[in-house]
Chains A and B, each alone.
Chain A
């Protein structure tokens, strides 16, 4: 397989990459890990005139700030997240999610910034980041700005990033006392595109009563959807089989489901309800374990 010819330059800093993008024109593209872009080029779905390699512009830093925010360079690779103790401890859903991305080879090249900028609706990471209320920092021709991850995906392979704008950093508010989380992906085969992604982050009081809930549904529609508003009736109750299934079923019934070669629309709708309910119960159980000081396996 051969991709169309292109020019190749390496950037030495984020700002140089932005300048190179502006100079090389709208057909130029940045490449970080290339695990989505290169297959698209090989299949001739993408034919950039030039690639600007940003792989070396930044260290792959994972830093926990004193205020409990986890700050990641956009170049942090999935394998970095998979093997990070601080990630497993503070954003365990991220560990659960990255394990299911592609395979070991893809995880060693693919980056969090690249995944977010790619805008694949079946991607795992946006679901987790939206549930945690994360944001990205960007740099573009008009300067730097901050975008909530929930405002980033528009539709399949389209994001709110402007022309020539790059994601430089990801900031994630981490678990706080009383919280528990659970990410569930359903796919035909390990590493395949998800049919359903569900991410739940719940807060419970000492008696196990839910006091706050965040819920995200991914892979069934054109973009991951924050369905937290439709889960608020769980607040004030202990999450159980009946109420989790009722809430999840109602969300699934109203969800936008796009056609997929992996499963029919009705099946995916039904599975969306099943996985959302499982994620809610998993998060509630995770909160209970953390509250009672039991060992937590991510």
Chain B
């Protein structure tokens, strides 16, 4: 066993596999925002409290600031850009636009990914359950009411259409 500082890792970002040489103390968040070419992942608190840097790691929400990049070797990462095809908005993003669920927009990428993941698993979640789901995603603009309005509109659209948006 040898402990080496430089590690060659492979991570798929929004379906695009890429190799990186990383130091162990590089967070997944920092990698994504720099060599990973994904500055849409935002750095909020950097200590796992605010939910701003949420990405999906193998389909599950994580704080990218609390995962070392080297730990994500071999994993698939979805950022907010992976929600919809290039140049299009996802139905959830349209719902945020329609209901003014985004003001400064800084928390929005993390909010969207958390909600998408949650509703994929709990398609009929009520407002209280949705409040619980986004409890760790801090927004300092909206007061959350409009965010929840947007999420509920998106949930209703999914339920009406009966397919995975």
A222 at the interface (CB under 8 A from B): no
Contact B60 A20 (CB under 8 A): no
Q: Which of A59-67, A97-105, A257-265, A280-288 has 4 or more CB atoms under 8 Å from chain B?
A: A97-105
Q: A7-B4, A9-B3, A79-B60 are in contact. Are A106 and B23 (CB under 8 A)?
A: no
Nearest CB in chain A to that of B57: its residue: A108
Identify which of B3, B4, B7, B60 gathers the most chain A CB atoms within 10 Å of its CB: B3
* A interface with B by C-beta (< 8 Å): 1-9, 20, 23-24, 31, 34-35, 38-39, 41-43, 50-51, 53, 55, 79, 99, 102-106, 108-109, 189-191
Bound complex: CA A212 to CA B19 (Å): 59
Q: Which B positions have Cβ atoms within 8 angstroms of A?
A: 1, 3-5, 7, 23-25, 27, 46-48, 51, 54, 57, 60-63, 65-68, 70-71, 114, 117-118, 132-133, 135-137
Question: B46 contacts which chain A residues (CB < 8 A)?
Answer: 1, 42
30 A-B contact pairs sorted by A residue (CB < 8 Å)? A1-B47, A2-B25, A5-B5, A5-B23, A6-B24, A6-B25, A7-B5, A7-B24, A8-B24, A9-B3, A20-B1, A34-B67, A34-B68, A34-B71, A35-B48, A38-B65, A38-B68, A39-B47, A39-B48, A42-B65, A43-B47, A51-B24, A103-B136, A103-B137, A104-B118, A105-B61, A105-B62, A189-B135, A190-B136, A191-B135
Closest to A6 in B: B24
Nearest Cβ in chain B — how far from A96, in angstroms? 13
A-B CB contacts (within 8 Å), total count: 96
The 8 A-B residue pairs whose C-beta atoms are closest, nearest first, are A103-B136, A8-B24, A7-B3, A190-B135, A1-B46, A39-B47, A38-B66, A105-B63
Q: Kindly state the separation between the CA atoms of A17 and B51 in the bound complex, as whole angstroms.
A: 31
If A1-B65, A39-B66, A106-B48 are given as contacts, then 9 extra A-B residue pairs at C-beta distance below 8 Å, sorted by A number, are: A2-B25, A7-B3, A9-B1, A23-B1, A31-B68, A103-B136, A104-B114, A105-B54, A109-B62
B155 CB to nearest chain A CB (Å):
17
State whether A103 and B66 are in contact (beta carbons under 8 Å apart), knowing that A1-B46, A2-B25, A5-B24 are contacts in the complex: no
Asked if A102 and B7 sit within 8 Å, CB to CB, the answer is: no
Q: Do A8 and B47 have beta carbons less than 8 Å apart?
A: no
